[in-house]
């Protein structure tokens, strides 16, 4: 699943329960991404970057050039549990 700046409301994401591949969040300028129902990211396919593979990749979610920085401040994943590797 790719979440990027498309103009679509991020509130549409709150009902997603499962991702079979990877979650890629890039260039999102919303304050919050509510993936509140997401319980599993299976990682059957992975996102590759700089020689490493990821099931979740979050990058470049800010916008410079304003009086204050605009961008992602909170990634809500309260239902997601399991093994985490950083």
- Report the greatest alpha carbon distance in the chain: 41
Check residue 12 and report its DSSP letter: G
Burial of residue 9, with CB atoms counted within 10 A of its CB: 0-12 exposed, 13-18 middle, 19 or more buried: exposed
CA nearest to 29, candidates 53, 65, 56 = 65
Give the tens place of pLDDT for each residue, 38-68.
Answer: 999 999 999 999 999 999 999 887 776 665 6
Give the tens place of pLDDT for each residue, 4-37.
Answer: 555 456 667 888 999 999 999 888 878 888 999 9
pTM for this prediction: 0.78
Q: CB neighbours of 2 closer than 8 A, spacing ≥ 6? A: 24, 26
């Amino acid at each position: 699943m790719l979440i990027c700046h498309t103009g679509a409301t991020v509130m549409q994401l709150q009902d997603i329960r499962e991702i079979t591949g990877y979650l890629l969040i890039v260039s999102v300028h919303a304050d919050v991404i509510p993936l509140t129902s997401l319980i599993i990211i299976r990682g059957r396919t992975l996102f590759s970057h700089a020689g490493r593979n990821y099931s979740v990749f979050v990058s470049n979610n800010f916008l410079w050039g304003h009086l204050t920085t605009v961008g992602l401040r909170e990634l809500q994943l309260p239902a997601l549990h399991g093994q985490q590797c950083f």
